[in-house]
Chain A
């Protein structure tokens, strides 16, 4: 079920109760929405807030699980290939190190970042920000810049694109050799699923509300923060 926020009326003076659509700048009074409902911009249909029931705890468990999977993925064989009696197995680390010739060294960095470092960093940052909030502790030091960084890194986390790339690569070498998935491939597929679940549960407006509410001198603005925990 989706709500349209109530249009701004000029007599409102309390800025904390207002919300600006980040995509089209439409101004609204923040509606009180229940967990599971979405606040959607009337003009450009961007989702402004989408609090989910017990989202904080779910994100913490999903992020922790994805970090474990990510670490395990590194060391197990990812794909195995054999042709004419010759075998080769490759791990995610090998894939990342494929671009080792000098002129392509920058691609090593970039591929590592997109498929390993950024997904891991984002999950780590979310844990760092959310664990104190969910367990009613004072927010972590520099929790706000940490969450902002996690938000800005979102488009650069490309684990799901890499997973589809595996399928394409597999079909490309099908004629040349026999290829099979190693255990790390299934772990990586699980990781992609977990990261997408984190995304489904994460409502950044709720996190900002909770961060503001947890800072003593900030005015109480939280309309959605109660759904986080």
Chain B
């Protein structure tokens, strides 16, 4: 579509672009003269950072699923619910929609996010056939949706402070609430560390090979 009029990049023009304020500087400039951010043409350590945070997040995600998120005591009986267990309890009570929201926010989105970040990090490290635009959209989706996984942590916080009804019922947060919150935070940092400009560099490799032919 745009193949006949390739859009130049600041890197090709021998310049540096600021990722925070969009200003353009001569190459060799260390910090942006407008907003003061550090300038890098491509963040070459980006992938290492992405994988480091990704791994820490994955490690936290294991106890987040094994330990209880909530301890509910009603009239002397105590029940402990993990993320999946809590959703199943909700579904048994007929709240299919909320069970769906919880499963989506706490299970489906985190797992898809792990897969998407790994796919993006692998795809920029070797020749990829997937279209840049598609991969860029995937990246924006991961950045946009990732934060919403925090909803389960907030639900635990609300329930634990609200449900204090003496012996009748009370709710306390379980250890998984911490590890799950950490999972969300670390995947957010992992996605933020990814330099999305790397996705588009492969287009330039292709352009270069086209020129060589």
Contact = CB atoms under 8 A, between A and B. Distances in A.
Interface stretch (B52-60, B107-115, B116-124, B160-168): B160-168
A179 B98 CA distance: 16
Given A15-B15, A107-B181, A20 B23 contact: yes
Interface string B22-49: 1111100000001111000000000000
A107 B15 contact: no
B178 A27 contact: no
B8 A7 contact: yes
Interface stretch (A52-60, A68-76, A78-86, A194-202): A78-86
A168 B158 CA distance: 10
Contact of A104 (B133, B178, B185): B178
B17 interface: yes
B159 interface: yes
B162 A7 contact: no
Contacts of B20: 22, 148, 151-152, 204
B161 A95 contact: yes
B8 A205 contact: no
A171 interface: yes
Interface in B135-184: 136, 140, 143, 147-148, 150-166, 168-169, 172-173, 175, 177-178, 181
B22 A205 contact: yes
Given A19-B24, A27-B7, A212 B34 contact: yes
B151 A168 contact: yes
Nearest to A148: B35
A23 to B, nearest CB: 5
B151 A161 contact: yes
A165 B147 CA distance: 12
Given A44-B200, A148-B35, A155-B188, A19 B2 contact: no
A7 B25 CA distance: 17
Interface in A1-51: 7-8, 10, 15-16, 18-28, 42-45, 48-49
A168 B161 contact: no
Contact of A110 (B19, B173, B181): B181
Chain A interface size, as a band, is 35 or more
A202 B176 CA distance: 37
Contacts of A24: 9, 132, 136, 196-197, 199-200
Contacts of B150: 114, 158, 161
B157 A98 contact: yes
Contact of A173 (B8, B151, B163): B163
Contacts of B62: none
Given A155-B188, A161-B150, A171-B98, A27 B24 contact: yes
A147 B35 CA distance: 8
Contacts of B17: 20-22, 25, 27
Given A148-B35, A208-B23, A88 B157 contact: no
Interface string A116-142: 000000000000000000000000000
A44 B196 CA distance: 10
B34 A95 contact: no
B5 interface: yes
Contact of B7 (A43, A99, A103): A43
Interface in A144-161: 144-145, 147-148, 151-152, 155, 158, 161
Given A7-B7, A88-B165, A115-B154, 9 more contacts: A20-B24, A21-B17, A27-B9, A81-B165, A98-B173, A99-B173, A162-B154, A173-B163, A177-B169
Pick the 5 closest A-B CB pairs, nearest first.
Answer: A20-B17, A165-B154, A98-B161, A98-B160, A169-B158
23 contacts: A10-B8, A15-B25, A15-B26, A16-B23, A20-B15, A26-B7, A26-B200, A28-B7, A44-B133, A90-B158, A90-B162, A95-B161, A98-B157, A111-B157, A148-B21, A155-B143, A155-B188, A165-B152, A165-B154, A173-B162, A179-B162, A204-B21, A205-B22
